[in-house]
Structure 1
Amino acid sequence: MAKPNYSFEKRQRELAKKKKKEEKLKEKAERKSGAEPAPAEPDDAPPAQDVAAAPPSQG
């Protein structure tokens, strides 16, 4: 059995953190300049729920 490649996993985590940090800085710069990005989903909208995926309650 192959042993896990922890260095690869660590590198992937580091890249994800770096990407997230860069995105945050970019959004912060956009907010500071006054150009607000359009939100993906409005805050006042209820969260979307998949009714078909929910099992019917049996009582």
Structure 2
Amino acid sequence: MRGFRHWRWHLDELYVKINGETHCLWRAVDHEGEILESYVTKTRDKKAALASSRRR
């Protein structure tokens, strides 16, 4: 369990076009660059993205 002491993650925000509309893609990324979870919204809503990642 010693290796888990330095485990970190951050929330990454990215804009993508889906069917010609701009959407905001939120990704939870760990310190090794692996995507833990992703969430797509039509508007930029960091609070909702964080709430979604906590629920799972």
Into which bin does the TM-score normalised by the smaller protein fall? Answer: under 0.3
Specify the structure having the higher radius of gyration (Cα): 1
Highest RCO, 1 vs 2 (Cα 8 Å, sep ≥ 6): 2
The TM-score normalised by the length of structure 1 is 0.21
Question: TM-score of the superposition, structure 2-length normalised?
Answer: 0.21
Larger strand share, 1 or 2: 2
Q: Which structure carries more helix by proportion?
A: 1
